[in-house]
């Protein structure tokens, strides 16, 4: 049961980190920052950034 809780917490943390990256990318995009710089800053793909 403990391993299941740990795995669930890890997944939750990963989702939270991904959400934060997406929010950061959206904010940078609104500021007019070049997509290439957003990719470098967030580690997201060009497709991930452009579809949001």
Given a contact cutoff of 8 angstroms between Cβ atoms, the answer to whether 22 and 44 are in contact is: yes
Q: What span, in angstroms and rounded, lies between the C-alpha atoms of 52 and 35?
A: 12
pLDDT in tens, 5-48: 888 999 999 999 999 999 999 999 999 999 999 999 999 999 99
| pTM listed for this prediction | 0.80
Residue 28's pLDDT is: 97
Question: Residues 6 or more apart from 16 whose CB is under 8 A from it?
Answer: none
3 state SS of 52: coil
Residue 13 confidence (pLDDT): 95
Give me the residue spans of the domains in the chain.
2-50
């Amino acid at each position: 049961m403990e391993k299941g809780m740990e795995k669930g917490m890890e997944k939750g943390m990963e989702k939270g980190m991904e959400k934060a990256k997406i929010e950061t990318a959206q904010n940078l995009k609104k500021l007019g920052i070049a997509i290439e710089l957003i990719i470098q800053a967030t580690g997201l793909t060009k497709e991930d950034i452009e579809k949001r």
